[in-house]
Amino acid sequence: MKKLLGTGAFILACLVGILPAKGGTEIDVIDVPTARMLNKNEYSLNFRFYQAGGLLMVGQAGLTEDLTIGASYGGEGVIGTGKFKGNPEPTFSIKYKLAEEGEKTSFSLAVGYSGQGYGRYYGEGDRVDR
């Protein structure tokens, strides 16, 4: 049942992401955050696959020209035959633009926070072999 629910959520997210999304606004360069922001009323929906059939969904929305918020959630066993195991909780992100490149400044500056890591989730007591 959980796997069916996870697959349904994935398909729904794909459809929602395709319909009104506007292409061309990349706010990260590969995995490195930049000072670029989503415009007001724009959103971005990204997916990342990882080991053990894992899938991470990241959604972000531009609330104003200077403020972007986001949320992400994922789990293992979404792809393949394994049992679905969701991450314990979603994570959130926020980014605020402090300065825009222009006549007075030669750079853009933004501050933000993202609590999302990448790959398999390890709990507090889990052993990690290196």
Distance from C-alpha of 56 to C-alpha of 34, rounded to nearest angstrom: 20
Q: How many domains does the chain have?
A: 1
Q: How confident is the model at residue 99 (pLDDT cuts 50, 70, 90)?
A: very high
Instruction: Please indicate, yes or no, if residue 124 is contained in any of the structural domains.
Output: no
Instruction: Please indicate, yes or no, if residue 97 is contained in any of the structural domains.
Output: yes
Instruction: Please indicate, yes or no, if residue 30 is contained in any of the structural domains.
Output: no
Instruction: Please indicate, yes or no, if residue 105 is contained in any of the structural domains.
Output: yes
- What is the 3 state secondary structure string of 69-115? EEEEEEEECCCCCCCCEECCCCEEEEEEEEECCCCCCCCCEEEEEEC
Instruction: Please indicate, yes or no, if residue 28 is contained in any of the structural domains.
Output: no
The model's pTM is 0.69
Model pLDDT for residues 28-84, shown as the tens digit of each residue? 777 788 888 999 999 999 898 888 888 999 999 999 999 999 999 998 888 888 888
